[in-house]
Structure 1
Amino acid sequence: MPQGAASNLLFQGSDWNFETLARTYDAIEKIGIDELGLDVYPNQLEIISSEQMLDAYSSVGMPLMYQHWSFGKRFVFEDHLYRKGRRGLAYELVINSNPCITYLMEENTMAMQALVTAHAAFGHNHFFKNNYLFRQWTDASAILNYMDFAKKYIAKCEERHGTAAVESILDSAHALMDQGVFRYRRPPRLSSEKERERMRERLEYEEQTYSDLWRTLPPSSENSDPSEVERDVTERKKALNLPEENLLYFLEKTSLILEPWQREILRIVRVIAQYFYPQRQTKVMNEGCATYVHYTIMNRLFDRGQISEGAMLEILQSHTNVVFQPAFDDPRFPGLNPYALGFAMMQEIERICVDPTPEDRDWFPEIAGTGNWRETLLDAWANHRDESFVLQYLSPSLIRKFRLFLLTDEADDNYCEVASIHNERGYEAIRTALARSYDIGANQPDIQVMDVDLLGDRHLRLQHNVKNGVLLDEDSRDDTLRHVRHLWGYDVSIAGVDSETGETLYECTTADLSGE
């Protein structure tokens, strides 16, 4: 290093203090905003210990979270692995909120603090603020206030109704979290503080004036006219807005046995489920964006002489570990590493825009050779989720680099077939299949509330739309049905219906389950 160059360094050695953090943050911000064109929420950096990081792991990463036994169980599990040296901790944790909160481990070296600041406080932050899924489906400005309300509300419920009663409702609600989101219509925005106060007053009023007389209503008489029965069913479904995809929402609004405080707990759990839903659809893009941002910013700082060679080697070692992709026959292979695929695709977009090959011009004529890599990346980060991003931007050269191939495994065959490889005929099939694997709608069970007669037997009927012949695991299905019945109070049944033929493949009801 030339004499006098050390004066340009943002930091030297591994030790850090808040002055060094602030100086490094300012340098990272200048590159992120001015050169990459990032648009971020105000940042709030929090320094926490390893135990606090474990605690954040256990409570789904939220700075404010209600108490539940499952969080303590996970804390003990994670702590045991960490103390045994069998699992490391994340260097950071970032919250999709306004301001954006980034937790930094106090044990990190200064080089790692710089890396994770660029990764989380600018990469993830930009993605949270600008991606259409987060803009449409989450409310970053209200989530922290809402979580504060949720924590206090559940604590108040425990004081009034007992811990066991509250945990019983939370257990069932947590079991249904995957079926507690709106997938195709936008959920209502989180209530303002004034609206929440009015809601609390309304719930308290309902508790005071609650009447149990409705339970004595006799069931509706049998109607012998089939046309009349069919019309009644149609009108009943219309009145209840059936079918309904959000099971927690339906139980919250319609269950005849839940008290107002129990309904509010269901709402809290489904709001949290909805908050995390966009993150489940953008794992590759979100981590790829953050990894690309930190890699680009760290290299810019090194090129300017603001980071030493020793610090850059440490940063590159960590970066390499993050984007490591084991081969399919490697014992460590867990599937495609979202960091590796996302980062590689971001770099590939930049290369295609700046230095395309003839193949790139055939596959990506809109962006090849334009030089507008920054605008292309910003547009992709804003307007895609994993499925559409892979379908539009996965290039043949990257398919070859990752050595991707497609297996077909039909249930009736006693063999697997390599249907497509990384060649001219296989690129489209591989890209389409990989994109489909990131489609939550295609890979999670489609279970909907189909019918219930509130004035009759109150039997809740669910339907599982079976895709590609994939049935529910029986043990998990039966356990989940018991949780639904606990919240509903009456018999619950589920029917598996082939989504293509309409054939009923299976039926199960809580009345037939042991222990009911």
Structure 2
Amino acid sequence: MTVTATHPLLFSGTDWDFNTIRRIYDAVEKVSGAVLGLDTYPNQIEVITAEQMLDAYASTGMPLLYKHWSFGKQFAHHEMIYRKGMGGLAYELVINSNPCINYIMEENTATMQTLVIAHAAFGHNHFFKNNYLFRQWTDAEGILDYLAFAKGYIAACEERHGLAAVERILDIAHSLMNQAVHRYPRRSRLDLKAEKKREAERHAHQEQVYNDLWRTVPGTPKTFRTEAAADRRRALLKLPEENILYFLEKTAPLLQPWQREVLRIVRQIAQYFYPQSQTKVMNEGCATYSHYRIMTRLHEQGSISDGAFLEFLQSHANVVMQPTFDSPRYSGLNPYAIGFAMMQDIARICETPDDEDREWFPDIAGQGDVSGVLKHVWANYRDESFLAQFLSPRLIREWRLFHIEDDAGQPALTVGAIHDERGYRRIRQALARQYDIAWQQADIQVVDVDLDGDRQLTLQHDTVNHTLLHDKDAELVLQNLAELWGYRVVLREVDPATGKLLKEHVAKAPQKPGLL
């Protein structure tokens, strides 16, 4: 490729200063608009050290997060790996907020700073702002204020109620974070700024709400034990309820107001991360494709040298490398690799389709508007639907994908589909299913509460393919739940198709009701 320089070099060598970062940012911003038409939140670039990056790792990448012993444990773990040379650190960290906060390491070279700004400040930023899951479930405007409120509130609780009591309820709440999200849209969009303002009002009315609920317990159990009364009870409690922390926050009979607020803080943060767990392939694919196009254009126009571009290509190749199944580094599909490959493939289908592409993708084949198609995809899909819709037969062949059926009732594994005409759709469906949130996380819901008896809380796990929960994990988490509830808790694992009970777990009521 012949490169004709039309712009001065943004930098020379590996060193940089803040003026260099400003030139890089301005150039990347201009190219991202011209090449991809990206729509982003305003960016805030912060330069941090390796130690600060380790600290950010430990607190799940969230600034201003409250303190918890598990974060220190994570810090020690990552620091040990980093110091011994057993693993590196991310070149950047990006926060889904408005403004979008981008942390870049001071140890990065000028080329790497250009790469991570293109990747995070524009690729991830565009995805955060435009994907429907993030628009539906996260409040980029209010998350930073809410985190500041949460940190201050937890600190105040530690001073007033003691470190042990606060740490215990956080431990329990963290163990239930996977069951602390609303998976279906609520009537009103979450407003975290308003949540902070309403905290005092909630505390003023909390006990009154609690009394109104438990006042419905009748004095004569025999007249209450009817199907109609049970239906009325479940309707009053709005059961079944999939968000277990939400249910406990609103109805657990023995929790104090500050404990309810701590549960609310944990579940709001869990809800914030909910879209990210469903868009790993798309999010990284969007960011990686964006940085590749931006860096290539910067090189073509002469803004970065051949040496800097080669440095970028080496880093890019490492990011999108897919280890083979027999490699010690293999840990499943690399989301950067499969995401970038699919974005490149969609671009190819839009520009130079073949007959197979026209048959499989008639809506986009030969359309020519690559940026328009990709922005539509980034805005309207999640990993499961993205793979089910856009994984092409050509990519299945290039990646040599095939489907293995692992049936516990059979003596051996079976190859159910290979990369041929009969297997393409089955492979695509099987791979997409691996990214389905219903397959990734157990469907556990609160289904009943024995108000007129021993106040037993009953949960139900609708199994997938009769796959049961791990006994030890279920026992520990269920006992945590019983400690929050204050009474006996039962978890029934059932076959959703037949209603057949497969297994039952029981957590006894704590000897001393109520948390410390």
| TM bracket, shorter-chain basis | over 0.9
1:223 correspondence with 2:215: no
Cα distance in 2, alignment partners of residues 487 and 339 from structure 1: 40
1:431 correspondence with 2:416: no
Match of 1:416 among 406, 413, 438: 413
Which residue identity lines up with residue 385 of structure 1 in the other structure? Answer: R
Do the aligned partners of 1:220 and 1:456 also contact (CA within 8 Å) in 2?
Answer: no
Change (3 A) 1:511 1:113: same
1:473 correspondence with 2:470: yes
Q: How does 1:40-439 map to 2 (within 5 A)?
A: 40-186=40-186, 189-191=189-191, 193=193, 196-203=196-203, 220-223=219-222, 229-439=226-436
Deviations 1:110-149 (A, max 9, x none): 0000000000000000000000000011110000000000
Q: CA deviation at 1:441?
A: 1.6
> Aligned pair count?
513
Cα distance in 2, alignment partners of residues 291 and 103 from structure 1: 17
Q: CA deviation at 1:195?
A: 5.9
- Give 3-state SS (helix, strand or coil) of 2:107's partner: coil
1:18 correspondence with 2:18: yes
Do the aligned partners of 1:142 and 1:190 also contact (CA within 8 Å) in 2?
Answer: no
Q: CA deviation at 1:422?
A: 0.6
Change (3 A) 1:82 1:188: farther
Change (3 A) 1:498 1:374: same
Do the aligned partners of 1:219 and 1:457 also contact (CA within 8 Å) in 2?
Answer: no
Which residue identity lines up with residue 73 of structure 1 in the other structure? Answer: K
Do the aligned partners of 2:136 and 2:185 also contact (CA within 8 Å) in 1?
Answer: no
Deviations 1:400-438 (A, max 9, x none): 111100001111111001111111110000000011110
Do the aligned partners of 1:136 and 1:186 also contact (CA within 8 Å) in 2?
Answer: no
Do the aligned partners of 1:478 and 1:513 also contact (CA within 8 Å) in 2?
Answer: no
Q: CA deviation at 1:346?
A: 0.2
Q: CA deviation at 1:511?
A: 2.6
**CA root-mean-square deviation:** 2.6
Change (3 A) 1:364 1:202: closer
Deviates further, 446-455 or 212-221: 212-221
- Give 3-state SS (helix, strand or coil) of 2:505's partner: strand
Do the aligned partners of 2:210 and 2:251 also contact (CA within 8 Å) in 1?
Answer: no
Do the aligned partners of 1:59 and 1:71 also contact (CA within 8 Å) in 2?
Answer: yes
Corresponding position of 1:454? 451
- Give 3-state SS (helix, strand or coil) of 2:508's partner: helix
Change (3 A) 1:213 1:164: farther
Deviates further, 465-474 or 437-446: 437-446
TM-score normalized by the length of structure 2: 0.95
Q: CA deviation at 1:205?
A: 7.3
Change (3 A) 1:39 1:297: same
Cα distance in 2, alignment partners of residues 416 and 195 from structure 1: 51
- Give 3-state SS (helix, strand or coil) of 1:223's partner: helix
Q: CA deviation at 1:469?
A: 1.0
Q: How does 1:497-516 map to 2 (within 5 A)?
A: 497-511=494-508
Q: CA deviation at 1:498?
A: 0.4
Identity of aligned residues (%): 59
Cα distance in 2, alignment partners of residues 393 and 296 from structure 1: 20
1:444 correspondence with 2:441: yes
Cα distance in 1, alignment partners of residues 114 and 440 from structure 2: 37
- Give 3-state SS (helix, strand or coil) of 1:101's partner: strand
Cα distance in 2, alignment partners of residues 210 and 35 from structure 1: 55
Do the aligned partners of 2:323 and 2:329 also contact (CA within 8 Å) in 1?
Answer: yes
Which residue identity lines up with residue 138 of structure 1 in the other structure? Answer: T
Which residue identity lines up with residue 271 of structure 1 in the other structure? Answer: Q
Do the aligned partners of 1:390 and 1:431 also contact (CA within 8 Å) in 2?
Answer: yes
User: Where does the alignment leave 5 or more consecutive residues of structure 2 unmatched?
Assistant: none
Which residue identity lines up with residue 94 of structure 2 in the other structure? Answer: V
Cα distance in 1, alignment partners of residues 175 and 491 from structure 2: 16
Which residue identity lines up with residue 182 of structure 2 in the other structure? Answer: F
User: Where does the alignment leave 5 or more consecutive residues of structure 1 unmatched?
Assistant: none
TM-score normalized by the length of structure 1: 0.95
Q: CA deviation at 1:444?
A: 1.4
Cα distance in 2, alignment partners of residues 142 and 56 from structure 1: 20
Do the aligned partners of 1:137 and 1:186 also contact (CA within 8 Å) in 2?
Answer: no
Q: CA deviation at 1:189?
A: 4.0
Change (3 A) 1:391 1:201: closer
Do the aligned partners of 1:236 and 1:453 also contact (CA within 8 Å) in 2?
Answer: no
